[in-house]
Amino acid sequence: MIMKGESWFCKLAVFLVRVWFAIMFKVEIKGKEHIPAEGNAIICCNHYSNYDPFAAAIYLDRLPHYIGKKELFKYKIVAWALNEVGVFPIDRKAAMDMKAVKTGLKILKDGKILGIFAEGKRVKEGEEVDAKGGVALFAMKGNANVIPCAISGKYKFRNKITVEYGEPLTLEEFRGQKLTTEVMAQITEVVMGKVEEMKVKE
């Protein structure tokens, strides 16, 4: 099922990427029922390939709005295409890009889905990267549940790729607390711990 209410370009892009994935990989989707039919939510995934944003989004009935590094928006035609599919820029060199934060919070306020890669960049196999606090900030300030998403498998021709969406994390134990650096770190640890737990072990 193609997303409702999306632009013609968005629907075409999703269709073409689905065809490409069908040719290249064997994709298994689990837990799709955990994505709400309406209302806001945050999908938080692990990230090790440029294919990940597509894998986590194209099989859903609602397209997540992703945060992309501002360098991707350098060329007008690319910026236009990214805007059409709901991607908005962030300055990763800034300690806190308030414009990106406000955009993300508005997306959640409008009852849409925000997609986040908590590590903030692709993480190579065996590499250890501390996840950033963005998912905690958006979950608390945007009053949204977090849906952990684990992507497993190597993107090689006809390899199996598993995309699993977990049960929404309400994070109720953290709501109402002052959002300190420590609390944000605890929230991020809970979310990413669940993502790690869901990965298919090879």
**What is the CATH classification number for the domain harbouring 170?**
3.40.1130.10
Nearest-CA neighbor of 198 among 155, 170, 167? 167
Q: Is residue 131 part of a domain?
A: yes
Q: Is residue 14 part of a domain?
A: yes
The pLDDT assigned to 1 comes to: 39
The pLDDT assigned to 2 comes to: 42
Q: Is residue 76 part of a domain?
A: yes
The pLDDT assigned to 94 comes to: 77
- Spatial distance between the Cα atoms of 169 and 68, rounded to a whole number of angstroms: 24
The number of distinct structural domains making up the chain is 1
Q: Is residue 30 part of a domain?
A: yes
**Token representation of residue 44:** 């938080």
Q: Is residue 3 part of a domain?
A: no
Q: Is residue 1 part of a domain?
A: no
The pLDDT assigned to 24 comes to: 98
- Spatial distance between the Cα atoms of 15 and 1, rounded to a whole number of angstroms: 10
pLDDT < 70 positions in the chain: 1-5, 120-131, 202
Q: Is residue 2 part of a domain?
A: no
Q: 137 is in which domain, residue-wise?
A: 8-198
Q: Which residue, chain included where needed, has tokens 């990427």?
A: 17
The pLDDT assigned to 5 comes to: 54
The pLDDT assigned to 111 comes to: 97
The pLDDT assigned to 202 comes to: 62
Indicate left, alpha or beta for 58 from its phi (over 0: left) and psi (-120 to 50: alpha).
alpha
Q: Is residue 143 part of a domain?
A: yes
